[in-house]
Structure 1
Amino acid sequence: MRLDESTWTDARDAETELALLPVGSTEQHGPHAPLGVDSLTAEAIAEAGADRYAADSGDEPVVGPTIPVGIAEEHRAFDGTLWVSEDTFRSYVRETVESLAAHGFDRIVVVNGHGGNTEAIRELCARVSRDGDAYAAGYTWFDAVDFDAFGHAGPAETAVIRHLHPELIRDDRLDEAGDGAADGWGEWVAGTNLAYDSDEFTDSGVVGDPRDGDAALGEELLDSAAAELSKLLEAVARRGR
């Protein structure tokens, strides 16, 4: 059940304790992919995972509205990128999770599409679970699927968007994106990343070659991410207080 498409009486009558909260980012994804890649992906995976879990269990989770701005200052040199501080992000997402719990949806999975959000989500979910009347867990989809060449705006993210919204991929800019891409994230010395911002190591804003990301790969990744999310929902549903 999509919360933002439902009425308050629908929410009142929902027979579930499970909720998913998609969280993404509005940030550069090269010259070929939209700024909303992380939000579009998180939302699609949350919906697909909820549908899969509902089909298997008969319990239909609530899917909350997508939070579209995250911790993304590392992309600030590229136009259109939006960001908030870690403190603001943690507070906003935590309080949103707590408001879901106040209505009885007290088993919450935060479905994350942006790497910069991961540590803050882990921390805020721990705080909710330790101090509140709910249990919360973070799910970052690219940590759950088996794909080595993830990158940033590379083959994986390009593939998923090509599957979900093919009209948003600028095919005429793929060569520019790929030719200006970095092979890996950051500038590493002695286990330390010396680069704080992405423009320090990638000219196009891309890591990995997006020309390798087709719709078939995107469909496979989305299906795998939804399957893993369904497993997590099953485990979260079993958690006791």
Structure 2
Amino acid sequence: MRLADATWSDADDADTDLAVLPVGSTEQHGPHAPLGTDYLAAETVAQAAASSYDREVVVAPPLTVGVSEEHRQFTGTLWVSPDTFRANVREVVASLASHGWDRVVVVNGHGGNVPALGEVCERIIRRDDAYAVPFTWFDAVGAHSDDMGHAGPLETAFLRHSHPKLVREDRVKAARDGASDGWGDWQSHVNLAADSAEFTDNGVVGDPTEGDADRGEELLSLARNSLCDLLDAVADRDVSRPPHK
């Protein structure tokens, strides 16, 4: 059930304790992909899993602004601090739990959210009346994960399958030509670059021409199936906390 489409009485009829909360960002994705790429992908994976899952799941509206200050030099990028992001996730999970949906998978589409998301989910488990775990879709697509850049082959492929009208196809080659080969500027296993503009001219990392719609369909299938497996694990898990030793 999509909360955004339901009435409150529809929501009241939901017979489940499971929810998914998509989170992403509003940030640059090169000249060819939309600013909403990350939250659109997270929402698409969450809805696909909920639709194919054999138990009822509540799908919350996405949190569309994340920890994205690393893209601040590119117009249109929005960001919040890690503290604000953690608080936002925690309070939305708490409101879901107040209605009985207290087992939550936070479906993430933005790499910059990962550290804060891991921290807040652990805090929710330890301190709140809910159980929450993070799931980042591009970590759940097998060997494809090795190609994850930024607005590169994976995200472009995903969009070409899920939101083809939002890809500016006439700009994809330019996106490739201005892209960097990898994320960051590394020395002695340390990334010296705080902002993406330090190592990519147009915001792209990786070759978006290598991401076609067929690959995008496979990516969505892999992420959906992995999320369904996680939902099973969360639904069946004993989430009580271990006693003091």
TM-score category (smaller protein) = over 0.9
Question: RMSD value over aligned CA atoms?
Answer: 0.7
Contact 1:71 1:86 in 2 (8 A): yes
Q: Work out the CA distance in 2 between the residues paired with 1:155 and 1:88.
A: 31
Q: Work out the CA distance in 1 between the residues paired with 2:47 and 2:20.
A: 9
Give the letter aligned to residue 160 of structure 1. Answer: F
Counting only pairs closer than 5 Å after superposition, residues 116-127 of structure 1 correspond to structure 2 as: 116-127=112-123
SS at the partner of 1:105? coil
1:216 aligns with 2:205: no
Tell me the equivalent position of 1:136.
Answer: 132
Tell me the equivalent position of 2:183.
Answer: 185
Aligned-pair identity (%):
63
Tell me the equivalent position of 2:233.
Answer: 235
Between the two proteins, the alignment pairs up a number of residues equal to 237
Alpha-carbon offset, residue 4 of structure 1:
1.1
Tell me the equivalent position of 1:49.
Answer: 49
Alpha-carbon offset, residue 52 of structure 1:
2.1
Give the letter aligned to residue 51 of structure 2. Answer: D
Contact 1:135 1:239 in 2 (8 A): no
1:69 aligns with 2:65: yes
| CA distances 1:134-171 after superposition (whole Å, capped 9, x unpaired) | 11000001111111111110010001111111111111
SS at the partner of 2:197? helix
Between 1:165-174 and 1:228-237, the stretch displaced more is 165-174
- TM-score, normalised to structure 1, is 0.97
Tell me the equivalent position of 1:203.
Answer: 201
Q: Work out the CA distance in 1 between the residues paired with 2:172 and 2:140.
A: 27
**Structure 1 portions without partners, runs of 5+:** none
- TM-score, normalised to structure 2, is 0.95
What is the aligned counterpart of 2:91 among 71, 95, 107?
95
Runs of 4+ residues over 4 Å off in structure 1: none
Tell me the equivalent position of 1:83.
Answer: 79
Tell me the equivalent position of 1:167.
Answer: 165
Q: Work out the CA distance in 2 between the residues paired with 1:166 and 1:11.
A: 31
